[in-house]
Amino acid sequence: MRIIVHTGKGGVGKTSISAATALRCAEMGLKTIVISTDTAHSLGDSLEKEIGPEPMEIYPNLWAQEVDARYSMEKYWGLFQRYMVALFSRQGVEDVVAEEVTILPGLEEGAHLLWINKYVNDGFYDVLIVDAAPTAETLRLLSLPDVTRWWFERILTLTRGVTKVIRPITKLMRRGDSVPDEDAWTQVQNLFDTLDRVRKLLTDPEQASIRLVVNPEKMVIKETQRTYTYLNLYGYATDAILCNRIIPPDVTDPYFAAWKDKQQENLGFIGEAFGELPLLKAPLFGQEVGGLDALRRLGDALYADKNPSEKLFDGQTHHIESNGDDGFVLKVPLPFARKDDMDLYRSRDELTLRVGPYRRNIVLPYALWNLEIEDARFEESTLRIHFARDERHKQGVR
């Protein structure tokens, strides 16, 4: 199954493009589902169909869903959360407050990822289109598997070890119900295992693509550049830029003249900024894009004779190359990043890389565990980290 994730600054037309892409795939004979992960759901409005928290077939080969995060939370987190709510409530915390504070930060958004795992496992659909939230929320969502893995391994594993010791004591004191049983811990383990599987799915460019939706406006393009950098940081493959709402050349009204000129200038900037990434264009329509006919016109304008489900670009994220007898080089493409806004930390088996406010842990292969970081250079929009076999310790980004 191919997974296509559309994200971008709020208001650029992600929902319309997601719906148009899904409709085009469906009319090409592919079983397609489009889901909205934005809490301000507007997918049903774009399709002009009533849709809900479960998939609904709205057109031949086309299903749509507006994900209900609470339902998903109950399904994957409910047993452990009920234990935590009961524990807090016994300490005098109101039930409603207890329910809110027992949700791991970011996990409510992470409920959307769990549906992706379900549809891949089911194998019913050929294409999954994700109408993602605006960029900041999407970045938090996509970095969630990294964050939760750290939280689980360092906090929950420790806590679980403690409960094995105190459970017999609490049972003797008739307070055994205050310690979670193995079913609760198993549910937590399964949750994080699922998130980890989704991370692997979304970072496989043969199965998943991130597509950035922009308007030809400088502020929108700047935010999209930052998003592209952070997607590379987390290992997600971007395979296209979709530029929406371009004033058509046949619009000759003088009122639009300056706007058209500025858009053309910004289109040139997009080409320079994103290099070899394909740039697909859609015009500004004379009316609101809603309903199947309008979405069909949008899909035709964007894709022409292309199949939207196919991979549009063979880009790379981080990769490791042998440097002969001198060690290895880890290369992390970070377009638009600044070397004065990076930090690099290393433990034996992993790297922590910070770019701006975002961090990523890169687990190192065994071959690098006993090597030292001799040098780290940021050149040509790529961070190159040299792991050497000698004892030199020249760390830092230069």
The mean pLDDT of the chain is 82
Above 70 in pLDDT, residue 171?
no
The confidence score (pLDDT) of residue 86 equals 65
Rounded to two decimals, the pTM is 0.80
- Whether residue 146 is predicted with pLDDT greater than 60 in this model: the reply is yes
Region of poorest pLDDT, from 30-34, 80-84, 140-144, 343-347:
80-84
Mean pLDDT along residues 221-244: 88
The Cα 322–Cα 359 span in angstroms is 25
Using CA atoms, how far residue 70 sits from 115, 135, 199, in Å, is 13, 22, 21
**pLDDT score of 81 more than 70:** no
**Which residue would you say has higher pLDDT here, 74 or 240?**
240
pLDDT at 392 over 50: no
Residue 116: phi, psi to the nearest 5? -60, -45
What is the C-alpha to C-alpha distance for residues 336 and 220, in angstroms, rounded to an integer? 15
Residues 62-71, mean pLDDT to the nearest whole number: 86
Spatial contact of 54 and 65, defined as CB atoms under 8 Å apart? yes
The residue-averaged pLDDT of 299-323 equals 88
Give the separation between CA 293 and CA 311, rounded to whole angstroms.
26
Please tell me which residue, 23 or 395, carries the higher pLDDT value.
23
- pLDDT tens digits, one per residue of 279-289: 999 999 989 99
pLDDT reading at 216 higher than 90: yes
Predicted pLDDT of residue 362: 80
Q: How far is it, in rounded angstroms, from Cα 161 to Cα 386?
A: 38
Report yes or no: 289 and 296 within 8 Å, Cβ to Cβ.
Answer: no
pLDDT digits (tens, 9 = 90+) for 92-133: 556 555 555 555 555 666 677 889 999 999 999 999 999 987
